[in-house]
Structure 1
């Protein structure tokens, strides 16, 4: 049982690392200002778990990520 708990920490650490990479990638692709991108990236980099949680709950992702918006055109 002790070996299972020993390896689970590495798995969860790796999972947090992958999620942080995705969040930083999303920050770089967003339409934020350079200062905003830098602040979010530093927060996620220095506080991997809490920075990730703050980013997903308080960053107004829909406002800055226009990649996810769908626009419809009317048929003439």
Structure 2
């Protein structure tokens, strides 16, 4: 079973670096953000755009897009 990581705010800063680090550790990374960036696109991870974490409808849309996968949601950073 592959390891899946969902990272919000992934188009820049800490979120972008977290995506890069997780990709290097062989995670399947799902990057959720309002709008992608060239740096995020260069990582070769799955990007889901139009995600605003402060908007419940946006979060519901993200959950719907992920509903066909088994994603164990927790906030564990090691």
TM-score by length of 2: 0.27
User: Greater strand share, 1 or 2?
Assistant: 2
TM-score by length of 1: 0.27
User: Greater helix share, 1 or 2?
Assistant: 1
Which one scores higher on RCO, CA 8 angstroms, separation ≥ 6?
A: 1
Q: Which structure has the bigger radius of gyration?
A: 1
